């Protein structure tokens, strides 16, 4: 599958890039004129300098990078962030700092990963009753630990 990418600048370092042969995601990098500091407990929107054309019937998901999450407490706030097939604006990543120290995002830094998935479009049908299951309406930890 090919996904068209438009760059805000002519620098190809901003293109999403898979970092290993079997990687499911492609890394997104920050496209910044100046560094952005994320203080503990705060949220920042980080531009990537790219716009993408997701094929119809697919979505792009923005997910955290495990190394940033584990080492620094930096994660994507709306995980996963969804980019719909009809969106053509710049991809931006909502990052939050759950760590104890301020974290500096610099231009070209890998900040998240992008995954393209097939989407089933449901047809919702109004019904007076739903089928019964053993679980029923139990939720929010109803099975215990």
Please check if 74 is assigned to a binding site.
no
DSSP the chain: ---EEEESSS-GGGS-B-SSTT-SSEEEE---SS-EEE-TT-EEEEEEEEEEEPPTTEEEEEE--HHHHHHH-EEETTSSEEE-TT--SEEEEEEEE-SSS-EEE-TT-EEEEEEEEE---------S-----SSTT--SSTT--
- Annotated ligand binding at 144? The verdict is no
Q: Is 38 annotated as a binding residue?
A: no
Is 65 annotated in some ligand binding site?
A: yes
Q: Is 66 annotated as a binding residue?
A: yes
Residue list, annotated binding site for substrate:
65-67, 78, 82-84
Residue list, annotated binding site:
65-67, 78, 82-84
């Amino acid at each position: 599958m090919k996904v068209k990418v438009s760059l805000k600048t002519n620098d190809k370092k901003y293109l999403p890039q898979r970092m290993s042969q079997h990687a499911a995601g492609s890394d997104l990098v920050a496209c910044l004129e100046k560094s952005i500091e994320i203080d503990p407990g705060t949220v920042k929107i980080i531009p990537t300098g790219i716009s993408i054309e997701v094929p119809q019937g697919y979505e792009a998901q923005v997910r955290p990078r495990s190394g940033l999450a584990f080492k620094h407490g930096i994660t994507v706030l709306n995980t996963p962030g969804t980019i719909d097939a009809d969106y053509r604006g710049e991809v931006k990543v909502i990052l939050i700092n759950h760590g104890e120290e301020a974290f500096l995002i610099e231009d070209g830094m890998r900040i998240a990963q992008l995954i393209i998935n097939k989407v089933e479009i449901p047809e919702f049908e109004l019904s007076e009753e739903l089928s019964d299951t053993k679980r029923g309406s139990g939720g929010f930890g109803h099975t215990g630990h």
